[in-house]
Amino acid sequence: MKKTYRKFIFTMRTVAPVHIGSGYKFGTKEYINEDGLIYFPDMGKLYQHLVSEGLDEKFEEWLLKRNVQSTKVRLAQFLKANGQSIQGYGGYTVRMMQTTEQGGVRQHASRDRQSTEVNEVSQFIRDAYGNPYIPGSSLKGAIRTILLNTHWKDENFVQRYGNGKASEKKDVVDWGAHKNKQFDDIFNEIRVSDSNPMSNQDLLIVQKWDYSARKQIATALPVYRESIAPFKVIKFEIVTTTERATELIKNLSKYASEFYTDYKNFYLSEQPNEYVTDNLPGYASLYLGSGSGVWTKTIFRQADGIVQNRYQRMKTKMIGKGVMKLTKAPQVKYKFKESVKTLVHNNESFYEMGKVAFFIEEVTQDGL
C-alpha cells in the first residue's frame, strides 16, 4: 500500500495566557466573585432553587435593576441578603488573577473604573462535558497564518474593489472543488485535531491591558477572559495526507521562527523589550486565540495600512501599528540547564496575550 498518511504530535506549552472564546459572555449577574475565585453557577439550577425558596419574583426584580457596576448589586450580595448560600448550584469555579499580584508603576485604570472590578467575562470554549479544550480549527488558523506569511510570502493577497476597499484574496492558495479541474487543496491535506480536554484548574481569568508605546502607559480595560494559565502543556495530532503537506508540517518550527522574527522586526521592535514574553529554549513560538493583536492574525506586511483604515471610524483610532496587547498573570519560573529563568522580564507581571511555544514530532507507525 502507498504510504500517504503521516502523523505528527504537536506539543504546545502556553507561555502567556491564551483565550479561545466559546462565543458566550457571562454578564455581571451570572457569577460570584469571592476570595480570588469566580464561581459560575448553573443559572438554571440557581433559579430552580430560588423558586423553591419563593424568591423568584424578588430575583426577577433584582435582575432588572440597573447600575450593575456597583458591587452592591452583585449576585453574591443578592443571595446573602436573602439568606441563601452562595455556592452549591452546579456550574464551575475558575481562579482569578489577583489584583494584589499586580504591582507596577506606569499603569492606570481605564477612565474612572476600578481595575479590580470584574464585569463581563468571556467564556473559554468547552466541550459538551464542560471541559475547556482548544479546537483544531483555532490551531489550524494560526498555522495557516504562519504559512501564508512565510511559505507564500511572495504572493499578493490583497484584493481591491472599485470603492477603494480591500480584503483578502482567498483563492491565492487553491482550495475547494472546481468543475473540470483536479482537486487541489493543500490545506485539506493538513488535518489538525482538537486538543485533549483540559480542566478548570488549568484556567485563569485575566484582564486585558493595552500598552501604548507612544504614551508609555498601560491601560486596564474592562475585558476579562477565561484563559489557559501560562506553562500548561496541550497536545494535538496533525495528520498530513500528501508529501507537499508533510514538507510544510515538518518545517513548521522553521516557518514559525521566520514568522516570529519578521513579526518582531515589524512590530515588537517598536515596543519595550521588557514586555515581550520570552520564547522557550528549544521551542518555536506562535500566537493563538483572541487578544493577541491584528498583526498576529494577518499577512501583516500587506495588511499594514489597510487594517488601520478599518479603525478610523471607531472611537479608538489605531495610531501607527496600534497598542501592545498585554495581560497579567502570576510570574512563572522554570529551570533550564541548571539555571532558573522567568517568562516575563518586567515587575508588573505583564505577558503578551496569546503567546505559546511548541514543538512538533512525527510519530512513526507500521502498516500505513
Partner 1 sequence: MAYSKVKITGLIELETGLHIGGSSAFAAIGATDSPVIKDPLTNLPIIPGSTLKGKVRSLLARAFNERTAEKPHQDTESIRRLFGDSESDEYKIGRLIFRDAHLTNADELTNKGARTLTEVKFENTIDRITAMANPRQIERAIRGSQFKFELIYDVQEETDVPEDIDLIVSGLQLLELDYLGGSGSRGYGKVDFKNFIVETAFGEFDSTELQKKLDELTPAEV
Min dist. Cβ of residue 99 to partner 1 (A)? 30
Reduced to 3 states (helix: H, G, I; strand: E, B; else coil), residue 296 is helix
Strand partners, 220: 109, 209
CB of 194 to partner 1, least distance (A): 4
Check binding of 297 to partner 1 (CB under 8 A): yes
313 binds partner 1 (CB under 8 A): no
Of the candidate residues 307, 323, 332, 343, the single one contacting partner 1 (CB under 8 A): 307
Inter-residue contact 356 to 14 (CB < 8 Å): yes
DSSP string, 77-110: HHHHHTT--SS-SSSEEEEE--GGG---SSEEES
Q: How far apart are CA 211 and CA 106, in angstroms?
A: 10
CA distance 301 to 311: 17
Select the span of 54-62, 67-75, 276-284, 302-310 touching partner 1 (CB under 8 A). Answer: 302-310
* Number of amino acids touching partner 1 (CB under 8 A): 51
| Strand pairing class (6-14; 355-363) | antiparallel
Closer residue to partner 1 in complex, CB, 157/358: 157
Maximum separation of any 2 CA atoms in the chain, in Å: 72
Residue 125 binds partner 1, judged by CB under 8 A: yes
Stretch that binds partner 1, among 61-69, 136-144, 220-228, 333-341 (CB under 8 A): 136-144
Residue 317 near residue 243 (C-beta atoms within 8 A) = no
Site for partner 1 in 179-238 (CB under 8 A): 187-194, 196-197, 237
Residues near partner 1 (CB under 8 A): 1-2, 4-5, 7, 21-23, 125, 127-130, 135-137, 140-141, 145, 148, 157-159, 166-168, 187-194, 196-197, 237, 239, 241, 294, 297-299, 302-303, 306-307, 310, 363, 367-368
